[in-house]
Chains A and B, each alone.
Chain A
Amino acid sequence: MAEDPKTATSPQDPGSQEEATSSERSESHAPSAEAKGADDSMRLVLLVMIVANQGMLDDLVTAMLDLGIQGTIIESKGLMSLLRDEMPIFSGLAAMIPQRTGSRVVLSVTAAGEIDQVFSFLQNELTDDERPMAFTVPIDRFMSGSKKS
Chain B
Amino acid sequence: MDIFLAILIVIGLGLLSSGRVTYRLRRSRLMVVLLSGGWLAIFVGMLLGPNFFPLIGVTEAETTLVSPRALLESTPLLMMGLGWIGVMVGLQLRWEVVRSLSAGIWKVLLADASLSILLFGGIALVGIHLWTDADALAPIWPGVLLLTAGSIGWSMETRSLRMANATETDARLDTLIRATGALGGVLAVTVLGLGYKIVTRDADGAFVFDLTGAIGRAALIGVLAVLVALLGRFAIGLAGKDRGHQLVVFLGIVVFVAGIATQLDLPPVFAAMLTGVILVNLKGNSIEGFEKFIVKAEFTVATMFALLAGILLDPRIGLPGLALALVMALARILVKPAFTRWAARRSDEQEPRLPDDSPLYLGAARQHPIFLALAVSVVLLEPSAYNARLLTIVILSGLLCELLPIFARRAGSRALGDENSTDPRGAPTQGAPA
CB <8 Å contact, A91 and B97: no
CB <8 Å contact, B32 and A92: no
CB of B309 within 8 Å of the partner chain: no
CB <8 Å contact, B286 and A55: yes
- Those of B270-326 within 8 Å (CB) of chain A: 286, 288-289, 291, 295-296, 298-299, 301-302
Partner of A90, one of B97, B242, B291, B302: B302
Contact-size category for B? 35 or more
Partner of B302, one of A55, A89, A93, A97: A89
| Segment at the interface with B among A43-51, A67-75, A80-88, A108-116 | A80-88
Residues of chain A with a CB closer than 8 A to B299's CB: 84, 87, 89
Please judge, given known A-B contacts A97-B97, A129-B289, whether A87 and B88 are in contact too, CB under 8 Å: no
Residues of chain A with a CB closer than 8 A to B185's CB: 90
CB <8 Å contact, A93 and B298: no
User: In the bound complex, what is the Cα–Cα distance between A55 and B298 (angstroms)?
Assistant: 23
Residues of chain B with a CB closer than 8 A to A130's CB: 241
User: In the bound complex, what is the Cα–Cα distance between A92 and B178 (angstroms)?
Assistant: 7
User: In the bound complex, what is the Cα–Cα distance between A91 and B182 (angstroms)?
Assistant: 6
User: In the bound complex, what is the Cα–Cα distance between A135 and B40 (angstroms)?
Assistant: 41
Residues of chain B with a CB closer than 8 A to A129's CB: 241-242, 289
- Those of B138-180 within 8 Å (CB) of chain A: 156-157, 159, 175, 178-179
Residues of chain B with a CB closer than 8 A to A93's CB: 92-93, 97-98, 178-179, 182-183
CB <8 Å contact, B92 and A94: yes
CB of B401 within 8 Å of the partner chain: no
The residue on A at minimum CB distance from B269 is A90
CB of B100 within 8 Å of the partner chain: yes
User: In the bound complex, what is the Cα–Cα distance between A90 and B370 (angstroms)?
Assistant: 6
CB <8 Å contact, B288 and A92: no
CB <8 Å contact, B159 and A90: no
Query: Looking at B156, B181, B296, which has the most chain A CB atoms within 10 Å of its CB?
Result: B156
User: In the bound complex, what is the Cα–Cα distance between A127 and B260 (angstroms)?
Assistant: 37
Which secondary structure characterizes the binding site on chain A?
loop
Closest chain A CB from B193 CB (angstroms) = 15
Residues of chain B with a CB closer than 8 A to A88's CB: 36, 156-157, 178, 182, 298
Please judge, given known A-B contacts A87-B157, A90-B373, whether A97 and B100 are in contact too, CB under 8 Å: yes
CB of A117 within 8 Å of the partner chain: no
The residue on B at minimum CB distance from A100 is B97
Residues of chain B with a CB closer than 8 A to A84's CB: 295-296, 298-299
CB <8 Å contact, A94 and B91: yes
Please judge, given known A-B contacts A84-B296, A89-B36, A89-B298, whether A94 and B94 are in contact too, CB under 8 Å: yes
Residues of chain B with a CB closer than 8 A to A54's CB: 288
User: In the bound complex, what is the Cα–Cα distance between A144 and B54 (angstroms)?
Assistant: 73
Query: Looking at A84, A127, A130, which has the most chain B CB atoms within 10 Å of its CB?
Result: A84
CB of B23 within 8 Å of the partner chain: yes
The residue on A at minimum CB distance from B373 is A90
The residue on A at minimum CB distance from B38 is A89
User: In the bound complex, what is the Cα–Cα distance between A56 and B64 (angstroms)?
Assistant: 52
CB of B10 within 8 Å of the partner chain: no
User: In the bound complex, what is the Cα–Cα distance between A86 and B32 (angstroms)?
Assistant: 9
Please judge, given known A-B contacts A91-B92, A92-B92, A96-B178, whether A83 and B23 are in contact too, CB under 8 Å: yes
Closest chain B CB from A44 CB (angstroms) = 29
Known: A91-B295, A100-B288. 7 other contacts (CB 8 A): A55-B286, A87-B32, A90-B88, A90-B185, A92-B156, A93-B182, A129-B289
Please list the residues of chain A having a beta carbon within 8 angstroms of any beta carbon in chain B: 53-55, 80, 83-84, 86-94, 96-97, 100, 127, 129-130
User: Which 7 A-B pairs rank lowest in CB-CB distance, beginning with the nearest?
Assistant: A92-B156, A93-B92, A91-B92, A129-B241, A93-B182, A88-B156, A89-B302
Please list the residues of chain B having a beta carbon within 8 angstroms of any beta carbon in chain A: 23, 26, 32, 35-36, 38, 85, 88-89, 91-94, 96-98, 100, 156-157, 159, 175, 178-179, 181-183, 185, 241-242, 286, 288-289, 291, 295-296, 298-299, 301-302, 369-370, 373
User: What are 30 inter-chain pairs, A to B, with CB distance below 8 A?
Assistant: A83-B26, A84-B295, A84-B296, A84-B299, A86-B32, A87-B26, A87-B35, A88-B157, A88-B178, A88-B182, A88-B298, A89-B36, A89-B156, A89-B299, A89-B302, A90-B89, A90-B370, A92-B156, A92-B181, A92-B182, A93-B93, A93-B97, A93-B182, A94-B97, A94-B291, A94-B295, A97-B96, A97-B100, A100-B97, A129-B241
